[in-house]
Amino acid sequence: MQQRKIFLDDEELPKQWYSIIPDLPKPLPPTIEPDKRQPGPGIVPLIFPKAIIGQEISKERFIDIPDEVREVYKLWRPTPLFRAMALEKALKTPAKIYYKYEGVSPPGSHKPNTAVAQAYYNMKEGTERMATETGAGQWGSALAFGCMLFGLKCTVYMVKASYNQKPYRRIMMESYGADVYASPSEETESGRKILKDDPDNPGSLGIAISEAVEDALKNEKVKYGIGSVFNHVLLHQTVIGLEAKKQMEAVDDYPDIIYGCIGGGSSFSGLFWPFYYDKVSGKAPKDVQFVATEATACPKVTKGEYTFDHGDTARLTPLVPMHTIGHDFIPAPIHAGGLRYHGIAPTISRLVSEKKMQTKAYNQVEVFDAAKIFINTEGIIPAPEPAHAIKGVVDEALRCKKTGEKKTIMFLLCGHGYFDMQAYADYFSGKLLPYEYPAEKVAEAMQRLKKLYPWLDELKKII
Ligand SMILES: *Cc1c(COP(=O)(O)O)cnc(C)c1O
């Protein structure tokens, strides 16, 4: 019998997270402190609690999930795995399509998987308030939710463009008890500086990060929470893939190819790392492939350079070894807010450079076309970010139709789109443009970076 939805019992919730670090084909390069031109953690030890720093640099393969965190996870985990039979039928593909759905969490995405863990470790170490940035509001609502559950205060610097366009995410954060400021804000020095020169600055994720980091640096009982890119964040997300493996086992299937979207790379890593572990440890029954999808409006991996760059506009973070289109990148106002970050998790860059995964970029028009097919068959309205993965899956399923391949395709539906109705309204009224970030602009940003750090080309050799 073919099963359309695959659920797991509470007891099957994983007891440990999986870290890819010991299984990478080549170690990660270190982060670099630009003033010393030496490897070093920069401000990282000043803004995170010790347990998080420990996980960030850990070489362990399996790390215990605290019982208190597992109890909170049980509010919505294990999440369902669906077989997209109606989508398969509509595409007339011989391929099987499965998707793991993280939109069932209270804030509506995968992000609470790490937000809850971060809030827990902060609570344990006596943090009183957490500060963070948010773009579309997904991460801010997840951290507000986590802080609420562990009795911490939460301050969210929300990119001004989203703050104005998406009031409902802000109200969600406020419902969870957070204080939300439009960034750039008057609350921090970095915000005030930008507003002075440019009062109408629409903000960016980079600017908002600078504000939140500054808040944590200046206040002893305040720590910073991050929604993606860092190793510990990706680690926390692996509950997704560990569950998905059990669910595939339950229906006696295994993916040939796995798709996800990449903003900073956390949700997709959460799904594919455990399958990657199967592969490197010789346990995978198939030569499973991994495909990361990004927006042509923010093509950090497909058009960016694998080098060292700052994680934020104000250059507070050390130089991170990653693909980047420049820390001064100002994104076009596309609706997939979560994909507009200029860089990517260093582990993704390492796996891409070692050809262990592929990347594809899609424009928002073709992405919403694919989302429409998904909505009309499976019924769930996807967030614009995972709609990029859906585009990749639809293309692959149609290719299988031509070749007759009976592949098993899996993807991560990392969030629902019920706060993104304006995006769908713009799509349906034909207002969306197939925006592509020009390669020349990336080249210019790389020139600026090299002007800032003339020794970068030499340093790059250690990558
Ligand atoms: C934040 C977010 C993303 C992008 O972040 P990753 O770290 O790449 O997962 C994608 N989709 C949704 C729904 C998000 O909230």
**E strands in 106-173:** 129-134, 153-159
Is the CB of residue 46 less than 8 Å from the CB of residue 217? yes
d(CA 67, CA 63): 12
The parts of the chain modelled with pLDDT lower than 70 are: 1
228 lines ligand 1 (CB under 6 A): yes
Enter the pTM of the model. 0.97
Question: 3-40: buried (b, 16+ CB within 10 Å) or exposed (e) per residue?
Answer: eeebebeeeebbeebbbbbeebeeebbbbbebeeeeeb
d(CA 180, CA 252): 46
The two tokens of residue 119 are 């809030």
Q: Which CATH architecture has domain 110-231?
A: 3-Layer(aba) Sandwich (3.40)
d(CA 288, CA 355): 13
3-state class (DSSP) for residue 452: helix
What is residue 166's predicted lDDT score, i.e. its pLDDT? 82
Rounded to the nearest angstrom, the distance between the alpha carbon of 227 and the centre of ligand 1 is 8
Give, in order, the Cα–Cα distances in Å from 162 to each of 133, 142, 202, 229, 422.
12, 16, 9, 21, 11
Report which protein residue has its CA nearest ligand 1's atom 5: 263
386 lines ligand 1 (CB under 6 A): yes
Percent of the chain with pLDDT over 90: 91
Report which protein residue has its CA nearest ligand 1's atom 9: 267
Give backbone dihedrals phi and psi of 222, rounded to 5 degrees, phi first: -110, 130
What is residue 1's predicted lDDT score, i.e. its pLDDT? 59
383 lines ligand 1 (CB under 6 A): yes
265 lines ligand 1 (CB under 6 A): yes
Per DSSP bridges, beta strands 222-224 and 129-134 are parallel
Rounded to the nearest angstrom, the distance between the alpha carbon of 345 and the centre of ligand 1 is 12
- In the chain, domain spans: 77-108+237-454, 110-231
Rounded to the nearest angstrom, the distance between the alpha carbon of 205 and the centre of ligand 1 is 13
Which atom from ligand 1 is nearest to the alpha carbon of 386? 11
Question: What is 77-108+237-454's CATH number?
Answer: 3.40.50.1100
Amino acid letter for position 405: E
Do the domains 77-108+237-454 and 110-231 sit in the same CATH topology, yes or no?
A: yes
